[in-house]
Copies of this chain bind each other. A is one copy, B any other.
Amino acid sequence: MHGLTRSARVLSLLRRLPFRQLSRLQTRSFAHNAILRLHSEHGPSVKVVPNTLCTNAREHAASFPKRTHHCGALTLQDAGSKVVLAGWLLAERKAAKTMSFFPLRDSYGSTQLVVNMNHSNGILASMSQVPTESTVLVEGIVHARPEHQRRPIPSGDIEVEVTKFRLLNAADSPLPFMSSHAGKLPSEEQRLRYRYLDLRRPELSSNLRKRSEVAHIVRHVLHEEGFTEVETPLLFKSTPEGAREFLVPTRLASTSSRLPDTETTDLESHPEPLFYALPQSPQQAKQLLIASGAVDKYYQLARCFRDEDGRKDRQPEFTQIDLEMAFVSWGEDIPSLTTGTADNWRIGGGEVRDIIERLVRAVWSKVEGFELPERFKVMTYAEAMSRFGSDKPDTRFGLEIKNVTSHLPEPLRSSLIEHGEILEALIVDKAEHHIFGRAAKKIKGMEVEKRLDRIDIKDANLESWLEASKAIHTLSEVTPLSTTELNAALGVISGSTVWLAKRPRIAEGGSTPLGQLRLALSEEAQCSGQLTLSPKPHFLWITEFPLFTRADEDKEFLAHGRWSSSHHPFTAPMRQDIEKLYEGRISEVRGQHYDLVLNGVEIGGGSVRVHDASMQEYIFSNVLQLSESETASFSHLIHALRCGAPPHGGIALGFDRLMAILCKTETIRDVIAFPKTGTGKDLLFQSPAPADPAVLEQYNVRPRNGR
C-alpha cells in the first residue's frame, strides 16, 4: 500500500515540473511508473456502472421529513402526538405474540418503538430485516407506557407506535462489534480502531457532551470576569527547555534559497532544514501578551504537545485551561488590603486563586450539583510532604505520616539532627486496624515497601522494635534502643505495624516512600472494602514549593549547574526569600508557585512570574547557569520584561484530567473524542505512519537509513 501512495506523490511532484525536466526524469526508474500514469491520464473516461447502483443511490438520497424530537425528549405530556424520530435502530425484542419492541437511539437518548404485527402493514417485516444499528427514520404516535413498565430515564415513560418506517442508511451485518452490547465489548485496541462505533456507547457520548458543557461554563465564567480569549501560535519555536517537543519541518522558509532550474542537483546544495516546534504550553506567548499590555486578563483552552515515551494515561496532545493576569499581587504586606479570612496563602497571585476557585465552584455546581466551599484549603509544600509524603496529598483519608525524630532515644536523635535528617513513621495502630489492617498484611513484601523498614509489632518486640530498623543502623550502634517514649507518643501497641524511613529535613521531590506506601495502603483498603472515601471533592492548594531543585539524572535542559527550576524558570521567588536568592542560599528559596490538587490528583499549577528583567537574568545565569546561547533563546522574553512588563501571574489546569474526574473514569482516553494509545498510536487513523522520502526531500531531510 505504501509503495503506491508514494507513486501518487511522485506523480504530483512530476505534475509541477516543466515538461523538459519531465523528459529528463524518464530515465529514472522510481519515476517511471508515475510517468506512465501521467501519460495515461487522458486515457479511459469515467466508467459507467449498472443501473442498480444508481437506483440504490437515489433511494439513499430521497428526501425525508424533519425530526420533530430527539430520542430523549418525549414525555408523558406528548402522549397522543404524532412524531418523527431518527436514529440508530437497536435489536428487536419480541413480546407477547404480536408485539415487537425496538429501541431507537440517538446521541440524546433512547426511545422505545413498538410495532403491532397485526396492524403494521408490513412495517414489522421491514424493521425486522434491517441490520442492527442502521440509521432509520420513523413516524409514529406517542403512547404512555403501562405504569409498571415506566423507567426513570429520558423518554422512559413513553413508547412510540410506528406508523411509517424508512431506512436511511443500512449498517453492515455483522459490525466489528455492537456498541449496544454493553457486556460484550472487545479489547480497547479494537474499540480504538473502530472508535466511530465505540463512540456510540452512551457513556462516551455523554462524556463528550459533558466536556463541551464544562468548556462552556469555563468560558462563560472567564468571559464574565473580563478575560480575553487569545489564540497563541501552535507552530512555535523550539526552546532549550523543550526536550520533549515535537518538531515540524517546513519548506516555507527554505524554498527561497532553492534553485529548481539549475543543473546542479548536488547533495551539498540543499539548504539546511528548518523547523517549527509544537508548544508544550503557551507559557512564553502568554507572558509576552501580558507584557505588551494588549490584554489585561488572557485565557485560552489551549492545545499542548509533548513527545514523551508513552507514560500511563498521557496523550501526546492534550488541552489545558490556560490563563494569565496582569497586575497580580506579589504577596501582601498591607494587612488592611487583604481580602477574605486569613489562611495559609502567603504568596502572591491571590487574584488567580480567586478566579480559579470561582471557576471550579461554577463547574461543580452546574455539573455535579455540588456547592464547594467559598475558599479552598491551602497547605504549604513542607506541610504536605511532612503529613502526607506527597506534594499532591489525598486528604480524603487520614493515616498521616509522623516525624518521630524528637521521640527517638539519644544519641540517635542528635546524630540524625546533625546529619540534617529526620526519621518518619507511618503507623497502622489499633484505632486504624479495622480500616488498614488487611491492607497492611496484603502489602507485605511488595515493591512499595522495599525502600522502607517494616516492623510488625508483637508482644515480643514491643520494647525493642526500633532495633530492627535498618534506616538508623549507620547512625547509632548503641543498643538497646528504648521504644518506651515512641510507643507512648505514637500509640504503638502489640498488633500495630510501623514503617520507618529517613529523609532530609528540607523535603525534596514529589513524594516520599512513606507517602507512596500511604497511597498503596489506601488503595488496598478501598479494594477490600474496608475504606470508603467520601464522595465530597477535596480541593487543596499547595504553595511555597522550593523554587529550585537539585539537578539529578532525570533533569535535562536548563540544569547545567547544581540547580534546575522546580517548575519553570519564570516563576518568581517568594518576596520573603529574595535575599536568600541573591545570597546563594538556593535550597531555601521558595517560589510563588501554586498547585491545585483534587483528591490527590494535581489538576493544575501556576505561579506569579518574574517581571524584573535583571532578576530573570540573574536566575538564568547565576542560578541555572545557562549558557549564553540558552539565555539568548529567551532574549525576546527578557526584552519584553524590559519594555515595562507589569507584575503578572497565571495558571493552567489540565482539562483532560479534570474531565476524567468529572466523568468518573480512570483514563483520559474516555474524555477525548479520538485519543491515541498509551504509546501515542492513533489506531483509527493509522498514525503515525512512514512518509514518502520524496516528500521528506522537500523539507531537506531524509531517513537516517536512506540514501
Contacts and interface: CB of A to CB of B under 8 A. Distances in A.
A643 interface: yes
A539 interface: no
A19 to B, nearest CB: 10
24 contacts: A12-B557, A46-B584, A49-B582, A53-B582, A57-B618, A60-B612, A63-B334, A107-B296, A171-B643, A196-B292, A197-B643, A208-B295, A209-B228, A209-B295, A231-B673, A233-B676, A234-B305, A235-B305, A237-B686, A238-B689, A270-B703, A272-B705, A275-B691, A700-B703
A399 to B, nearest CB: 36
Contacts of A26: none
| A7, A131, A216, A275 — most chain B CB neighbours (10 Å) | A275
A398 interface: no
Interface in A609-659: 611-612, 614-615, 618, 622-623, 625, 627-630, 632-633, 636, 639-647
A289 B169 contact: no
B169 A646 contact: yes
A689 B330 contact: no
Contacts of A332: 63
Contacts of A45: 561-562, 584
Contact of A229 (B48, B215, B267, B326): B215
A685 B1 contact: no
Given A253-B679, A337-B66, A293 B235 contact: no
Interface in A220-276: 223, 227-238, 240, 243, 246-253, 255-256, 267-268, 270, 272-276
A641 B680 contact: no
A121 B582 CA distance: 34
A203 B549 CA distance: 43
B673 A334 contact: no
| A273, A586, A642 — most chain B CB neighbours (10 Å) | A273
Q: Please give the count of copies of this chain that the complex contains.
A: 2
A238 B199 contact: no
A209 to B, nearest CB: 5
A384 interface: no
A553 B628 contact: no
Contacts of A4: 627-630
A562 B40 CA distance: 10
Nearest to A333: B63
Interface stretch (A181-189, A357-365, A514-522, A571-579): A571-579
A551 interface: yes
A87 B107 CA distance: 49
Contacts of A556: 12, 15-16
Contacts of A599: none
Q: Which 10 A-B pairs have the closest CB atoms?
A: A4-B629, A252-B680, A171-B644, A54-B582, A237-B687, A199-B294, A199-B292, A274-B688, A237-B685, A205-B294
A105 interface: yes
A307 B553 CA distance: 38
A106 B296 contact: yes
A614 B108 CA distance: 29
A127 interface: no
B680 A293 contact: no
A288 interface: yes
A704 B695 contact: no
A704 B699 CA distance: 9
A79 interface: no
Interface in A193-209: 194-200, 204-205, 208-209
B695 A553 contact: no
B256 A679 contact: yes
A647 B67 CA distance: 13
A78 B690 CA distance: 66
Nearest to A107: B296
Contacts of A690: 272-275
A601 interface: no
A668 to B, nearest CB: 12
Contacts of A672: 231
| A1, A42, A64, A135 — most chain B CB neighbours (10 Å) | A135
A204 B294 contact: yes
A62 interface: yes
Interface residues of A, number: 199
A252 B685 contact: no
Contact of A562 (B8, B11, B46, B70): B46
A57 B250 contact: no
B61 A681 contact: no
A65 interface: yes
A142 interface: no
Interface stretch (A309-317, A464-472, A483-491): A309-317
Given A237-B689, A690-B273, A646 B133 contact: no
A53 to B, nearest CB: 6
A627 to B, nearest CB: 5
A131 B199 CA distance: 59
Contacts of A195: 288, 292
A343 B294 CA distance: 45
A46 B625 CA distance: 8
B681 A12 contact: no
Contact of A691 (B37, B247, B563): B247
A134 interface: yes
Given A45-B584, A234-B317, A248 B674 contact: no
A15 B553 contact: yes
A572 B208 CA distance: 28
A643 B703 contact: no
A583 B51 CA distance: 9
A47 interface: yes
Nearest to A133: B644
B557 A293 contact: no
Given A209-B228, A228-B208, A704-B697, A5 B630 contact: yes
Contacts of A289: 196, 199, 673
A1 B632 contact: yes
Contacts of A215: 229
Given A4-B630, A8-B630, A294-B208, A680 B253 contact: yes
A66 B329 contact: yes
A2 B633 CA distance: 10
A268 B705 CA distance: 5
Nearest to A198: B292
A233 B701 contact: no
Given A175-B643, A582-B57, A701 B703 contact: yes
B233 A274 contact: no
